Amino acid sequence: MCGIVGYLGRRQALPIIIKGLKRLEYRGYDSAGIALLNGSLDIVKKKGKVIDLENEIGSKPMDATLGMGHTRWATHGEPNDKNAHPHASTDGKLAIIHNGIIENYASLKKELEKSGHKFLSDTDTEVLIHLIEEIKIQNNCNIEEAVRLALNEVVGAYAIVVLSQDEERTLIAARKGSPLVIGIGEDEFFVASDATPIIEYTNNVTYLNDREMAIIKDGSLVVKNLENIVKTPFIQKLELDLEDIEKGGYAHFMLKEIFEQPKSIRDAMRGRLVLREHQLILSGIDQYLNRFINAERMLLIGCGTSWHAGLIGEYLFEDLARIPTEVEYASEFRYRNPVIRDKDIVIAISQSGETADTLAAIELAKSKGSLIFGVCNAVGSSIARTADAGAYLHAGPEIGVASTKAFTSQVTILAMMAMYLGLKKGTIPLSKYQELLNALDSVPDKVSKILSKADEILEISKSFYQATNFLYLGRGYNFPVALEGALKLKEISYIHAEGYPAAEMKHGPIALIDEEMPVVFIATKDSSYEKVISNIQEVKARKGKVIAIVTEGDTEIKGMADFTFEIPNIADPLVPLLAVVPLQLLSYHIAILRGCNVDQPRNLAKSVTVE
């Protein structure tokens, strides 16, 4: 949700914090603020984006080598100056920034008000800093102990950084359920929600675990749990380059990430697909191969775009490996008392590896004895650490809020898993396995071919950017693609869009179709081709405008549709990897034509780390 940056070292903190906030702005951009400690504790915060905070700071003298910053995605309290972080204690000597939700804030606030505390904001975060202040006073303890005791009283999720005016070279950070990484440089330390603000200065990091605190003072780092037991931090090297988090000449991160897909798909296959030997190497499956082969059911869980990738995974696992598969919204999974068995395998899909609902769902599944397999992008993330095994996407940082390259990398991983299990179980013959491997290897080049025709999508977009509704239709493997195409358009252009199985159009959505309704068909030449043609004719009979994604050389649909876009021919299970790309471009260009901020769409944050 929110973005956190902290610094303690020998350099001026303000430039480091501001630059870090800009790199984390994809996590939240309702408001932003900083706190710097240099004798006094100076706080500046402002509704809006980081640039608005910069303008508010202006030329104020803000010299300090210790400080922290925050960019907010609003949960408690509307976006405004008073609700922006950091929040201060009553005496103004303590400050906090926070990502997460304190669920018992109301009862804590009531007790604190009885003790004379007055609150200036509508946030749960302000309650936490007042609680820390109250404990510090009552116990006559230092800030480290006050934070530890306070966190033992709160219920909810948090990543926090706390400063105290009385302890000028001390920075306290802690986490539970929300990510926090500590960067270790030469005589300096960094704290952030993810590694993007850190990589410019150091590639040595440690990730805090749940219910752990980092105490940075006197040039040293100590990690403790909330029981006050010292832990040995695991220091690791970041696999991240600075250029990965820059736009690289593109107008927007989203466009860059769409065009990175030939590389990101290839990177997902690298070291796993060995074409010359006609084999896949999937070590995460191999260490539990018997459990996979004997699995009674696969449960794929995710949210948003990751759920759509899981839906394609359902088609893949049932089609190729003949394993009964269900796809679950992580946000609903644990609240409906699901049936989970020890012979089930749960595949958790998440770009960030920090999605709160997905983490809660896998904790439930793990408690029932299920094997947990993580499919995520962020190395060292909570899901990666919680899962029994898994596969990293290796897609590189995805800064645009609307997921593009992570989606195709997720589908690539799931496709390899399904092929591999199909071969091991004998549900697909060796000849089909090898045919699919060759097809998968061809995907990056075919995506490049699609991207070379991006201007065709721009021309289509010019005819529809003023539409108020869209309908996306597909069948079989293309139905989840329709859902993903509709989601992309909703996310970044604010046009209402719905995805449906094409055959379901007659069971309701057809009532919406008139000359003002664009209908996008994913209509490639597969086993459902003739039936999709019938659906297109039904739309045209009602004067709907048809945009069709078709297989190269298709002339039949070209004669019916108002607009067509051709994609290369490929085996049915891999069509989603190609068909989704023009839909990503369509949403991008429509959003740009409408004047929308495609990288930071309103009300959305990249990583949903609160339930």
Instruction: Among 424, 450, 476, identify where a domain stops.
Output: 450
- Looking at the fold, whether 143 and 224 belong to one and the same domain comes out as yes
What is the per-residue pLDDT for 399?
87
- pLDDT surpasses 90 at 76: no
Closest CA to 531 of 570, 562, 563, 501: 501
- pLDDT surpasses 80 at 587: yes
CA distance 69 to 27: 13
What is the per-residue pLDDT for 608?
59
Q: What is the mean pLDDT of residues 265-293?
A: 94
Hunting for tokens 């989840």 — which residue is that? 480
With respect to residue 610, please indicate whether it lies within any of the assigned structural domains.
no
Q: What is the CATH number of the domain that holds 24?
A: 3.60.20.10
Assign 489 a pLDDT band (cuts: 50, 70, 90). very high
Count CB atoms within 10 A of the CB of residue 318.
Answer: 16
**Residue 383 · residue 348 · CB < 8 Å:** yes
CA angle 68, 71, 74 (to 5 degrees): 130
Evaluate the CA torsion angle 512, 515, 520, 525 in order and state its sign: positive
- Looking at the fold, whether 385 and 489 belong to one and the same domain comes out as no
- Looking at the fold, whether 145 and 238 belong to one and the same domain comes out as yes
Q: What is the CATH number of the domain that holds 590?
A: 3.40.50.10490
Angle between helices 575-593 and 405-425 in degrees, nearest 10? 170
- Looking at the fold, whether 92 and 228 belong to one and the same domain comes out as yes
With respect to residue 117, please indicate whether it lies within any of the assigned structural domains.
yes
What is the per-residue pLDDT for 600?
86
Is 606 marked active-site? yes
With respect to residue 67, please indicate whether it lies within any of the assigned structural domains.
yes
Instruction: Among 418, 450, 482, identify where a domain stops.
Output: 450
Is 596 marked active-site? no
- pLDDT surpasses 70 at 502: yes
Residue 189 in 3-state DSSP? strand
CA distance 552 to 533: 16
- Looking at the fold, whether 40 and 181 belong to one and the same domain comes out as yes
Q: Which tens digits make up the pLDDT trace of 6-49?
A: 999 999 999 999 999 999 888 878 999 999 999 899 999 999 99
- Looking at the fold, whether 560 and 435 belong to one and the same domain comes out as no
Which residues constitute the domain of residue 169? 3-243
User: Exactly one of 22, 45, 446, 606 is catalytic; which is it?
Assistant: 606
Phi/psi for 366 (5° steps) reads: -65, -35
Closest CA to 521 of 533, 530, 509: 533
What is the per-residue pLDDT for 610?
52
Domain count, the chain: 3
**Residue 181 · residue 173 · CB < 8 Å:** no
User: Exactly one of 2, 303, 376, 596 is catalytic; which is it?
Assistant: 2
- Looking at the fold, whether 78 and 219 belong to one and the same domain comes out as yes
With respect to residue 608, please indicate whether it lies within any of the assigned structural domains.
no
With respect to residue 339, please indicate whether it lies within any of the assigned structural domains.
yes
Instruction: Give Cα 315 to chain centroid, integer Å.
Output: 23
- Tokens, residue 449: 């071919």
> Quick check: bond before 86 cis, omega within 30?
yes
- pLDDT surpasses 60 at 58: yes
With respect to residue 609, please indicate whether it lies within any of the assigned structural domains.
no
Q: Which residues of 455-478 are buried (b: 16+ CB within 10 A; e: fewer)?
A: ebbeebbeebbebeebbbbbbbbb
Q: Which tens digits make up the pLDDT trace of 439-459?
A: 999 999 999 999 999 999 999
- Looking at the fold, whether 238 and 269 belong to one and the same domain comes out as no
